[in-house]
């Protein structure tokens, strides 16, 4: 068994979900989950690795290399990477996609105005 598959098995075991529940959660077939749990030569797809990290809040660095804390909170770069990954998995022309596209087109003065708006929203919540 490769080390990644061993860590995936650990995640699945700790989730206390059935194989059917894992399959539904990760949008794969139950047979694929069974293979990962029972075949030592099973190799997870890149998509499955990304989905496991997202759904189980596992750091990809730990899953791939075994380094660091598996459940370490996401840092800013991880959060941005997750949002970006979600954009590519989501529907075309989704709100997230339109928002990111609009933000990408802002010039410096528009970023300053946006920052002021966000600061006002945060003040109102406090």
In tens, the pLDDT along 60-81 reads 889 999 988 888 666 788 778 7
Q: What's the pTM value of the predicted model, to 2 decimals?
A: 0.59
CATH number 1.10.8.100 given to 3-65: no
- Average pLDDT over the chain, rounded to an integer: 88
Cβ(84)–Cβ(54) under 8 Å?
Answer: no
Structure tokens at 102: 């609009």
What's the CA gap between 44 and 33, in Å, rounded? Answer: 10
């Amino acid at each position: 068994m490769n080390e990644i598959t061993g860590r995936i098995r650990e995640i699945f075991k700790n989730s206390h979900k059935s194989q059917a529940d894992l399959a539904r959660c990760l949008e794969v077939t139950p047979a694929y989950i069974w293979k990962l749990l029972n075949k030592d030569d099973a190799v997870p797809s890149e998509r499955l690795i990304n989905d496991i990290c997202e759904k189980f809040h596992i750091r990809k660095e730990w899953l791939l290399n075994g380094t660091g804390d598996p459940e370490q909170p996401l840092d800013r770069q991880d959060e941005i990477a997750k949002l970006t990954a979600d954009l590519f998995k989501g529907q075309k022309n989704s709100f997230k996609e339109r928002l990111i596209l609009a933000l990408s087109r802002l010039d410096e003065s528009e970023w300053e105005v946006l920052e002021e708006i966000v600061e006002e929203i945060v003040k109102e919540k406090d």
